[in-house]
Structure 1
């Protein structure tokens, strides 16, 4: 599977946009401008890794499903709302301004000053989770991995509905080689919000390229394509490629009901019609 190159942490792996929302949280929201991190090349194929009992099927419990009406026509799918934005609370304007200023310092690679700025925000606004995600990113840039993980966990502790925190933590775990932990974190995100496109996509990439389980990856590639209305041509190509490898052509998302049977032919009011029809057939056979 051809993949795009790994995004630099300097560009913000998870936080590609700033959106202030959620339970007093700061940061970008999954589904809005967030892109998955993908590896530079496909790992060497080997014997499939053994998943924990129920691990694969557990993730498939959170797949969206295309619905149909009584006539067999598709019903428009309405995704579940993002819990992070649905429970949004006003963020003090001063906090917004300081967060943006700190983000600008980070974008300019003034990491020490950015770290101090975000730490100050956490002290003055302890109920904001977004600054902790930024501190996690900065810790990774400085290769302080233990501090990075604690920062991501702190963001989740402050705001368990911050879907970005799940995404950031799972990506960190995957980069650290903790594939099963990353999988479980993605599944936790989907338990919170089953229609989280980026969680489906990143989980699919994890299953396929890092855990060598393409059959478990395929449903989540499909879920991402379904939730984003197939707007990503690269993911469409990945789906074609993975279906060739798994041999699974049946959709995990869209399973239309059987086509309605054609109505039975009305019996003619002429009691001799059936017999006449039979005689005609015999005549044609003789001819």
Structure 2
């Protein structure tokens, strides 16, 4: 009887130990689940923070797009200057004579300037620059001729045209010659030829600002193409290190003219 009671007691104890062990294991499982859940949560939090940090870094490195006009100016300045790329170095003595001619012209001694240039042309027939300067002397004579003497003025224009054309024949990419020849054609009333030579100047040197300005004037005052004039004025301004006040006024005036026409058409 005593043995039976002890056996029951022992069995009861074993069951108690087993129950405690099961509860302990169950508790361990619950704790593991808790740690696992905390670990997962912490990892997710870290991932979110990392993603936010990465996003912040990417945003700081975003490239701000250029203004369309700025992009166009950069492209024009990067384009090849065909006149300079095709030219060859000149001797120091030749450059000295050329500078002497320019100094004489600047001082108003056009006769001396012409003599130096003509000698330079004889000595260096493959240079186009002296022909351009001779044309410039003709244009100074044209500007200084009395308005009443149209025949004389026309003769100076024709002489300038011939000299600029000789410069272009020697070097087709001399954009200075094209620009000046365009002005001669404009004075002669041949606006189609004037436009073409302004375009030739731009093709030879896409960043040549004066060609855009003169083309704008041609469109504005002679051809009545106000939108094209505006585009060329704006491009000229964009190519300047410091925009010109006078051209800014022209642009503002053209915008008003264009707006009035558009409003009239929309009514």
What TM-score do the two structures reach when normalised by structure 2? Answer: 0.61
- Within-5 A mapping of 1:76-87: 77-78=74-75, 79=77, 80-87=79-86
Give the SS at the match of 1:247.
helix
Does the 8 Å CA contact 2:129/2:167 hold for their aligned counterparts?
yes
Q: 1:217 Cα deviation (Å)?
A: 0.7
The residue aligned with 1:105 is 104
Query: For residues 65-84 of structure 1, what are the structure 2 equivalents within 5 Å?
Result: 73-74=65-66, 77-78=74-75, 79=77, 80-84=79-83
Q: How far 1:142 sits from its partner (Å)?
A: 3.5
Bigger helix share: 2
Shift of 1:72: 5.6
Residue aligned with 1:126, SS:
coil
Aligned to 1:205: 217
- CA drift of 1:230 comes to 5.6
Deviations 1:117-144 (A, max 9, x none): 1111001001111110111122233342
Residue equivalent to 1:220: 232
**Residue 254 (structure 1) aligns with:** none
The structure with higher relative contact order (CA 8 Å, sep 6+) is 1
Q: Unaligned regions of 5+ residues in structure 1, if any? A: 1-69, 249-287
Describe the superposition over 1:85-139 as per-residue Cα deviations: whole angstroms up to 9, x where unpaired: 3334211111111111122222232222221211110010011111101111222
Counterpart CA distance in 2 for 1:186 and 1:176 is 15
CA distance, structure 2, for counterparts of residue 216 and residue 73 of structure 1:
25
Bigger drift between 153-162 and 208-217 goes to 208-217
| 1:71 Cα deviation from its structure 2 partner | 5.7
Cα distance in structure 2, aligned partners of 1:102 and 1:186: 26
Cα distance change of structure 1 residues 193 and 108 upon mapping to structure 2, 3 Å threshold: closer
C-alpha contact (below 8 Å) 1:222/1:239 kept by paired residues:
yes
Tell me, yes or no, if the aligned pair for 1:195 and 1:227 is still in contact at 8 Å.
yes
**Is there any run of 5+ residues in structure 2 with no aligned partner, and where?**
1-61, 143-155, 261-267
Q: Match of 1:109, SS?
A: coil
Equivalenced residue count is 180
In structure 2, C-alpha distance between the alignment counterparts of 1:146 and 1:73, rounded to whole Å: 49
Contact 2:174 2:201 in 1 (8 A): no
For residues 208 and 170 of structure 1, the distance between their equivalents in structure 2, rounded to whole angstroms, comes to 15
Q: For residue 229 of structure 1, report the CA deviation from its aligned partner.
A: 5.2
- State the alpha-carbon separation in 2 of the partners of residues 177 and 98 from structure 1: 35
Structure 1 consecutive aligned stretches of length 4 or more whose deviation exceeds 3 Å: none
Larger Rg: 2
The superposition leaves residues 241-261 of structure 1 with CA deviations (integer Å, 9 ceiling, x where unpaired) of 11111129xxxxxxxxxxxxx
Show the 5 A alignment for 1:174-189: 174-189=186-201
Q: Residue by residue, what CA displacement relative to the aligned partner does 1:180-226 show, whole Å, maximum 9, x if unpaired?
A: 21111111222333332111111001110122221221111121122
